[in-house]
Every structure is written in structure tokens, then in C-alpha cells.
């Protein structure tokens, strides 16, 4: 039972940390970030299982994480008010052709990064963008005039 309690704690700790880090950083991982993610995974495993290397312990941890993942997805689907907490809200970065600097700063994103995203979407200039939205998955979607 101790494994289940530690798993639940770590699951919610990871949920809070990923929400705090921001979706933009998570969507554009560099090689160092990937390695850091693997190291964090190993540290989490050690914190959850401690010295329990049994098949039963591993099964309990995996089942608990799976149930928590399905539960948060179901809660997000069923209760609209929880959705911003669990998934976040889209953030408008450009509205009516004007860059919203405050939202860019809040998302720790520069105008140059926004321009790079626009170019990847085959948009040559931010002047052509009517709306740009940072979606909950970390991608930027554009509406052109």
C-alpha cells in the first residue's frame, strides 16, 4: 500500500511540475532535455519503489499510474471546470494582427520564436497573421488574413 501512496504523490507532483514548466518548453525538447527527462524518470522510480524490486511492486506502480492517468483524462472530459487545471487553456499570442507581448512574456516566448513558428507554418511574415494561438499541446496555430 505504501507503493500506491508514493505513486499517487509522485503522479501529482509531476502533474504540477509539468504545468509549472509550461507547454512551450515541453513541446520543443532539445537532446539535453530528453536526457534530463530520462534521469528524472529514474529518480522518480527510485523514490516510488525504493528498494522494492518485486514484480508485485512494479505491477502496483504501473496499475496506479495507469488508473491515475485515465482518471485525470476522465475528470477533464466530464468536468469542464477542471479542464483548465488539468490541461491548461489556449493562449492568444496575436490578435487582429497585433502581437500580445504580455502573453508572450507569460509563456516565456520571444517574438523571434513566434516568427520561427510562423515560418514553419509557411507564413513569411507576422504581419500576415491575424491570430496566433498557443494550444494546450505546445504548438502554435495561425489564422492568416
Residue of 138, 136, 2, 9 lying closest to 68 (CA atoms): 9
Predicted local confidence at residue 123, as pLDDT: 92
Beta strand extents in 82-145 (DSSP E only): 91-95, 98-99, 129-134, 140-144
Q: What pLDDT sits at residue 26?
A: 57
Question: How far is the C-alpha of 54 from the C-alpha of 32, rounded, in Å?
Answer: 31
> Per-residue pLDDT for 103 more than 90?
yes
Q: How far is CA 81 from CA 27, 71, 85, 141, in A?
A: 24, 15, 8, 24
Just give the CATH number of 91-144. 3.30.240.20
Share of the chain above pLDDT 70, in %: 91
pLDDT at 28: 61
User: What is the band of 42 on the pLDDT scale with cuts at 50, 70, 90?
Assistant: confident
pTM above 0.85, yes or no: no
The domain limits of the chain are 2-86, 91-144
Amino acid at each position: 500500500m505504501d507503493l500506491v501512496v508514493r505513486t499517487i504523490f509522485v503522479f501529482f507532483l509531476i502533474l504540477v511540475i509539468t504545468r509549472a514548466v509550461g507547454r512551450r518548453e515541453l513541446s520543443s525538447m532539445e537532446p539535453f532535455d530528453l536526457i534530463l527527462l530520462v534521469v528524472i524518470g529514474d529518480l522518480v522510480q527510485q523514490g516510488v519503489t525504493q528498494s522494492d524490486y518485486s514484480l508485485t511492486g512494479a505491477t502496483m506502480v504501473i496499475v496506479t499510474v495507469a488508473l491515475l492517468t485515465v482518471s485525470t483524462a476522465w475528470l477533464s472530459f466530464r468536468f469542464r471546470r477542471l479542464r483548465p487545471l488539468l490541461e491548461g487553456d489556449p493562449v492568444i499570442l496575436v490578435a487582429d494582427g497585433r502581437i500580445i507581448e504580455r502573453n508572450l512574456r507569460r509563456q516565456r516566448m520571444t517574438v523571434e520564436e513566434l516568427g520561427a513558428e510562423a515560418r514553419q507554418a509557411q507564413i513569411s511574415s507576422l504581419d500576415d497573421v491575424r491570430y496566433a494561438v498557443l494550444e494546450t499541446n505546445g504548438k502554435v496555430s495561425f489564422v492568416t488574413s
